[in-house]
């Protein structure tokens, strides 16, 4: 959350945060290492044939491991013959290739721990006998499956070939540069201040030419210190940046490297007329009123990129934690060149060979983990505001929701619940009875989320700060000794260093609800198991720091500078908080901890959101590609604030924003302290009823969301699927980022994000029937792709069921999702052109970890049609999905043999019925409907209309079978004859 004028007044007036503006954030030209990286890239082509990479492999040093599939060698740079580097190329079991390079025996050690935080485990390598190494004169080739990894000696180049095509090339454009640690040379600086320009020029003329100038440039640029605005970064370690070009010779589209407010298919930043003039930046920042179309850094960073073409997809994961800038260009129409420049760290790049988007998701999930299985209630509607100001306010908001029949699962409290922003400690004046208040909210199965930020108010009356000081686990200033002091909500503050192992158990103990062993130890008396946590401001945001974050020369555990670990910082905080919430009660429960900052691996924890957006149509629209982009980079549990954090959206905008919001995995409305109240019950009609229906639609589809989360949890395939993921060969879909599919459900949505829209164009990518979700109108696509125009007045969301899908829903409106646990299901069978359909339903208790022991229900539904001479029969079958086996990459899934169909959870929902079957697109009126072998004389209705297998458009035929007396947990058959 960002500053409100009302809060500003509480802070000392001379404070620099009063001057907050968008230009408080650096451009590449204001960052010395980015400037150096870009200048290097600009010098390269102009140097013509004399340009070459100075890095070469020493052939005599090449070693191939005899026990595993890896390659090591020494690397030399002709620029600095005395400096040594080591290169390692490892081939993982699943075919992913890891390329690591580090300086060896240098003056200092480069930061090499990013991967240890990002990776879920150290990947195992391919068996040596499965890889054939072929040594050539100037290269070594590792050959396995249909892949070849080629490591060229001079100049150093690593490339991945698949099926005879060159897919990824490292250093193919020869921009690799690992600046080694060096001793600062004390030179006599020319007297520019008094002597004037002439004298300075003289000095330059007399200086001997730098032998490395062709590569590094004539001038040293900001190697030892640099200033930005009023801050100076001391850079005691000197230069250590890393430049690397990664070329995709056959891929014209790249996606990922979130988070940016940009289109999903990343536009260019260099080359002829680039879309953006700055590179994409990855540096977690609390950006004030961010722009709706920009490569600027935002709150989270995932250095993971997909490169895609109709032929194949590959992925790149660059395990780097320092500030990184990425230029994107297309040297030819069908290729993409990316140039990565990072401030510090080793080279540690993973090449994911694909070949499909789904393979890349799975390969990435094997590296960094899949997304956590969320608590079921976390998929409901979250109502937040800065701030609900008192217990009475909370109670009255909840009451209004109930009076007006709006479903709601979670009520949130922003920073003002706490006394002077000392988190954990309630403001006793406004919240005199926190536990009673939480219990009131929990009475209908609801939860509360309260904020705990990482800045600790530096006062002796705050036990959390006092204990952190005593344990010596606070981030240190540049001297590495004194605790760092900065400004945040709590005024003068200190930050816990979550890299310090000494902070871990202590932090977790803060959330304990009962006494610990040590009788004076802390316990959170004013909390219950129904309170979950919001970790905001964890980039970290520091109001008086450079770019509103910590100085880069601050020192963390192990002596690492803040610059080395910056992008990981927020993930550690969320991790420790998630662990605390999981374990605080008598039995472990799934945590909900919303974080603003994130990194590769954050998906293993909980949710994130897109930060402080604005109540504008542009921001509503860009939220969609942002959430899609986070998803394809693993961080699938994401959403944007409904309504926009800043501003006062008009009723039309608010309605449309809810329509967008219900189609994001995380669905929360939030608003700034200076905005007018905008809870949905405050709307006038017809907007109020429209929003109620919209939220109810979300609730009716919760099982679709939950099933999609399970899939993401199982193998890392994202919940929201952009077109290129669903139809990787359809070029027309590669740039589409305003419509998308939800999991494997077959639902296609295109939320309306323009004012006054009454019609919307929707792209249908295939020769298939698509049914309007609400009217069952059948539309036809074509093999070449087809755009249809659908009516979309304010109350209408363009939402379709792809022919071939079976969608499980629950129709009973309830006040909260836990109240739906025993509600019956409706199955909508949307027949495909081939008169087939399939679907899935995953259920478990929604909060414990018993699903890992096999306490779950996972159903598979299949429908097919058999034509015989006399009659045609459509069969709908329900079977146990866990028996059919599935792709699983995550260790948290059911161990083989652990699942039993009569497990405790399945028993608890034994009575849950299927109350309705809706079958769309049958060719004619059935003669007989047979349920479990028994012909049904009544209980079904038929409405004639368009058949799935024809070419016609218009209202589809609808067969409704009411109360078929089937249980959701059982195996059963329904047959329809005609």
Ligand X SMILES: *[C@@H]1O[C@H](CO)[C@@H](O)[C@H](O)[C@H]1NC(C)=O
Considering the complex, state which of residue 53 and residue 602 has its C-beta at the smaller distance from ligand X.
602
Considering the complex, state which of residue 40 and residue 605 has its C-beta at the smaller distance from ligand X.
605
CA geometry: angle 513, 518, 522, nearest 5 deg? 40
Query: For residues 223-282, which are near ligand X according to CB under 6 A?
Result: none
CA geometry: angle 649, 763, 744, nearest 5 deg? 85
- Spot the catalytic one: 102, 139, 416, 612: 612
Backbone angles phi and psi of 342, in degrees to 5: -120, 150
Residue 740: how many CB atoms within 10 A of its CB? 26
Strands 280-282 and 226-228, sheet pairing: unpaired
Query: Which spans in 460-585 are helix H?
Result: 463-471, 504-509, 562-583
- Spot the catalytic one: 148, 174, 539, 553: 539
Considering the complex, state which of residue 496 and residue 912 has its C-beta at the smaller distance from ligand X.
496
Q: Which residue of this chain has its Cβ atom nearest to ligand X in the complex?
A: 575
Backbone angles phi and psi of 400, in degrees to 5: -65, -40
Considering the complex, state which of residue 667 and residue 709 has its C-beta at the smaller distance from ligand X.
709
Considering the complex, state which of residue 250 and residue 716 has its C-beta at the smaller distance from ligand X.
716
Sequence-ordered list of residues with C-beta below 8 angstroms from that of 563, at least 6 positions apart, any chain: 233, 322, 323, 343, 344, 552, 553
Considering the complex, state which of residue 454 and residue 854 has its C-beta at the smaller distance from ligand X.
454
Q: How far is the CB of 603 from ligand X (least distance, A)?
A: 8
Q: How far is the CB of 605 from ligand X (least distance, A)?
A: 5
Q: How far is the CB of 613 from ligand X (least distance, A)?
A: 25
Q: How far is the CB of 302 from ligand X (least distance, A)?
A: 12
CA separation for the pair 338, 249 (Å, rounded): 11
Query: For residues 820-859, which are near ligand X according to CB under 6 A?
Result: none
The residues pairing with 338 across neighbouring beta strands, listed in sequence order, are 246, 328
Q: How far is the CB of 20 from ligand X (least distance, A)?
A: 31
Residues that bind ligand X (rule: CB under 6 A) add up to a total of 6
Q: How far is the CB of 362 from ligand X (least distance, A)?
A: 18
Comparing CA positions, the residue from 591, 754, 728 lying closest to residue 660 is: 754
Q: Using the 8-state DSSP alphabet, how is residue 183 labeled?
A: P
SS (H, E, C) 412-481: EECHHHEECCEEEEECCCCCCCHHHHHHHHHCCCCEEEEECCCEEECCCCCHHHHHHHHHCCECECCCCC
- As given in the structure block, the two tokens for residue 119 are 């990776």
Q: How far is the CB of 583 from ligand X (least distance, A)?
A: 11
Comparing CA positions, the residue from 568, 561, 478 lying closest to residue 110 is: 561
Considering the complex, state which of residue 492 and residue 583 has its C-beta at the smaller distance from ligand X.
583
Residue 632 near residue 255 (C-beta atoms within 8 A): yes
The H or E element containing residue 43 is helix 32-46
977 is annotated as an active-site residue: no
CA separation for the pair 947, 545 (Å, rounded): 64
The residue ranges of DSSP E strands in 708-780, in sequence order, are 720-721, 740-742, 747-749, 759-764, 769-772, 777-780
Considering the complex, state which of residue 571 and residue 841 has its C-beta at the smaller distance from ligand X.
571
Q: How far is the CB of 604 from ligand X (least distance, A)?
A: 4
Give the max Cα distance, the chain.
Answer: 104
Residue 654 near residue 678 (C-beta atoms within 8 A): yes
Q: How far is the CB of 601 from ligand X (least distance, A)?
A: 4
Considering the complex, state which of residue 116 and residue 789 has its C-beta at the smaller distance from ligand X.
116
Considering the complex, state which of residue 115 and residue 297 has its C-beta at the smaller distance from ligand X.
115
612 is annotated as an active-site residue: yes
- Spot the catalytic one: 174, 497, 536, 730: 536
- As given in the structure block, the two tokens for residue 258 are 């979130």
Comparing CA positions, the residue from 711, 645, 641, 697 lying closest to residue 669 is: 641
CA separation for the pair 909, 855 (Å, rounded): 11
Q: How far is the CB of 117 from ligand X (least distance, A)?
A: 5
Query: For residues 570-629, which are near ligand X according to CB under 6 A?
Result: 571, 575, 601, 604-605
- As given in the structure block, the two tokens for residue 282 are 């990855």
CA separation for the pair 434, 422 (Å, rounded): 15
Q: How far is the CB of 578 from ligand X (least distance, A)?
A: 8
641 is annotated as an active-site residue: no
117 binding ligand X? (CB under 6 A):
yes
Residue appearing with tokens 């639609």: 697
The H or E element containing residue 232 is strand 231-233
Q: How far is the CB of 726 from ligand X (least distance, A)?
A: 28
Angle separating helix axes 391-403 and 434-442, nearest 10 degrees: 10
Considering the complex, state which of residue 601 and residue 743 has its C-beta at the smaller distance from ligand X.
601
Considering the complex, state which of residue 601 and residue 964 has its C-beta at the smaller distance from ligand X.
601
Comparing CA positions, the residue from 572, 573, 608 lying closest to residue 592 is: 608
Query: For residues 319-358, which are near ligand X according to CB under 6 A?
Result: none
690 binding ligand X? (CB under 6 A):
no
Residue 730 near residue 767 (C-beta atoms within 8 A): no
Residue 640 near residue 661 (C-beta atoms within 8 A): yes
Residue 189: how many CB atoms within 10 A of its CB? 9
x/- track of binding to ligand X for residues 528-567 (CB under 6 A): ----------------------------------------
Q: Which residues bind ligand X (CB under 6 A)?
A: 117, 571, 575, 601, 604-605
The catalytic residue positions are 536, 539, 612
């Amino acid at each position: 959350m960002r500053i409100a004028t009302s809060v500003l007044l509480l802070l000392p007036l001379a404070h620099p945060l009063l001057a907050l503006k968008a230009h408080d954030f650096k451009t590449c030209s204001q960052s010395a290492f980015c400037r150096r990286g870009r200048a290097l890239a600009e010098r390269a082509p102009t140097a013509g044939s004399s340009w070459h990479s100075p890095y070469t492999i020493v052939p005599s040093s090449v070693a191939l491991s005899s026990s595993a599939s890896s390659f090591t060698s020494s690397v030399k740079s002709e620029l600095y013959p005395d400096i040594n580097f080591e290169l390692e190329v490892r081939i993982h079991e699943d075919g992913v290739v890891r390329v690591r390079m580090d300086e060896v025996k240098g003056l200092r050690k480069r930061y090499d721990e990013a991967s240890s935080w990002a990776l879920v485990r150290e990947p195992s390598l391919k068996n040596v006998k499965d890889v054939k190494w072929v040594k050539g004169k100037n290269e070594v080739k590792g050959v396995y499956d249909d892949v070849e990894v080629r490591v060229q000696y001079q100049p150093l180049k690593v490339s991945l070939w698949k099926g005879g095509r060159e897919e990824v090339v490292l250093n193919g454009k020869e921009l690799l540069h690992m600046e080694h640690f060096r001793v600062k040379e004390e030179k006599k600086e020319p007297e520019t201040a008094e002597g004037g320009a002439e004298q300075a020029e003289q000095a330059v003329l007399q200086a001997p030419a730098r032998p490395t100038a062709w590569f590094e440039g004539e001038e040293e640029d900001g190697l030892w210190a640099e200033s930005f605005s009023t801050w100076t970064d001391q850079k005691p370690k000197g230069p250590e940046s890393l430049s690397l070009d990664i070329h995709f010779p056959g891929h014209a589209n790249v996606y990922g490297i979130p988070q940016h407010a940009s289109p999903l298919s990343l536009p260019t930043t260099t080359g002829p007329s680039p879309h953006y003039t700055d590179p994409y930046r990855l540096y977690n920042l609390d950006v004030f009123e961010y722009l709706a179309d920009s490569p600027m850094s935002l709150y989270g960073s995932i250095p993971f990129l997909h490169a895609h073409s109709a032929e194949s997809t590959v992925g790149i994961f660059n395990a780097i934690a320092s500030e990184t800038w990425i230029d994107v260009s297309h040297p030819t129409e069908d290729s993409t060149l990316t140039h990565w420049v990072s401030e510090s760290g080793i080279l540690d790049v993973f090449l994911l060979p694909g070949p499909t988007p789904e393979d890349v998701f799975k390969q990435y999930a094997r590296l960094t983990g899949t997304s956590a299985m969320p608590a079921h209630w976390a998929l409901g509607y979250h109502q937040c505001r800065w701030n609900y100001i008192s217990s009475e306010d909370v109670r009255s908001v909840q009451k209004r929701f109930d009076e007006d029949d709006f479903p709601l699962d979670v009520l949130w409290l922003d920073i003002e619940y706490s006394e002077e922003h000392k988190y954990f400690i309630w403001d006793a004046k406004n919240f005199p009875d926190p536990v009673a208040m939480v219990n009131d909210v929990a009475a209908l199965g609801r939860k509360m989320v309260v904020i705990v930020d990482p800045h600790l108010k530096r006062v002796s009356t705050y036990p959390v700060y006092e204990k952190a000081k005593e344990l010596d686990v606070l981030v240190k200033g540049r001297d590495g000794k004194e605790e760092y002091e900065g400004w945040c909500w709590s005024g003068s503050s200190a930050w816990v260093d979550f890299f310090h192992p000494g902070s871990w158990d202590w932090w977790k103990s803060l959330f304990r609800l009962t006494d610990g062993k040590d009788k004076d130890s802390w316990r959170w008396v004013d909390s219950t198991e129904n309170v979950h946590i919001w970790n905001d401001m964890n980039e970290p945001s520091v109001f008086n720091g450079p770019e509103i974050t910590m100085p880069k020369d601050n020192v963390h555990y192990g002596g690492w500078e803040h610059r080395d670990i910056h992008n990981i910082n927020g993930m550690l905080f969320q991790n420790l908080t998630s662990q605390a919430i999981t374990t605080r009660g008598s039995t472990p429960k799934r945590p909900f901890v919303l974080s603003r900052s994130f990194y590769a691996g954050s998906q293993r924890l909980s949710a994130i959101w897109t930060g402080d957006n604005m109540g504008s149509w542009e921001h509503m629209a860009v939220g969609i590609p942002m959430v899609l982009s986070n998803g394809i980079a693993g961080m699938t549990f994401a959403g944007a604030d409904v309504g926009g954090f800043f501003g006062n959206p008009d009723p039309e905008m608010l309605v449309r924003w809810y329509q967008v919001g219900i189609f994001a995995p995380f669905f929360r409305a939030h608003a700034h302290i200076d905005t007018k109240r905008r809870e949905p019950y405050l709307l006038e009609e017809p907007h109020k009823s429209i929003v109620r229906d919209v939220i109810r639609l979300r609730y009716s589809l919760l099982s679709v969301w939950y099933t999609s989360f399970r899939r993401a949890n199982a193998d890392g395939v994202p919940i929201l699927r952009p077109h290129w993921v669903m139809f990787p060969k359809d070029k027309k879909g590669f740039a589409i980022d305003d419509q998308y599919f939800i999991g494997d459900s077959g639902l296609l949505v295109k939320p309306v994000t323009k004012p006054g829209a009454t019609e919307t164009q929707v792209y249908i990518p295939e020769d298939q029937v698509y049914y309007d979700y609400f009217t069952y109108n059948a539309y036809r696509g074509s093999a070449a792709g087809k755009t249809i125009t659908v009516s979309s007045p304010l109350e209408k969301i363009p939402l379709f069921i792809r022919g071939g899908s079976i969608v499980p829903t629950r129709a009973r409106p309830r006040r909260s999702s836990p109240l739906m646990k025993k509600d019956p299901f409706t199955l909508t069978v949307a027949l495909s052109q081939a008169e087939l359909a399939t679907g899935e339903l995953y259920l478990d208790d929604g909060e414990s970890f018993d699903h890992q022991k096999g306490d779950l229900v996972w159903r598979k539904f299949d429908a097919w049609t058999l034509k015989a001479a006399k009659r045609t029969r459509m069969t709908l079958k329900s079977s146990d999905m866990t028996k059919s086996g599935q792709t699983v990459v995550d260790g948290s899934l059911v161990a083989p043999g652990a699942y039993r169909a009569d497990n405790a959870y399945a028993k608890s929902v034994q009575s849950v019925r299927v109350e309705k079957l809706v079958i769309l697109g049958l060719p004619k009126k059935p003669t007989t409907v047979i349920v479990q072998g028994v012909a049904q004389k009544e209980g079904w209705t038929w409405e004639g209309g368009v058949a799935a297998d024809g070419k016609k458009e218009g209202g589809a035929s609808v067969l409704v079978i009411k109360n078929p007396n089937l249980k959701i947990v059982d195996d059963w058959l329904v047959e329809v004859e005609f």
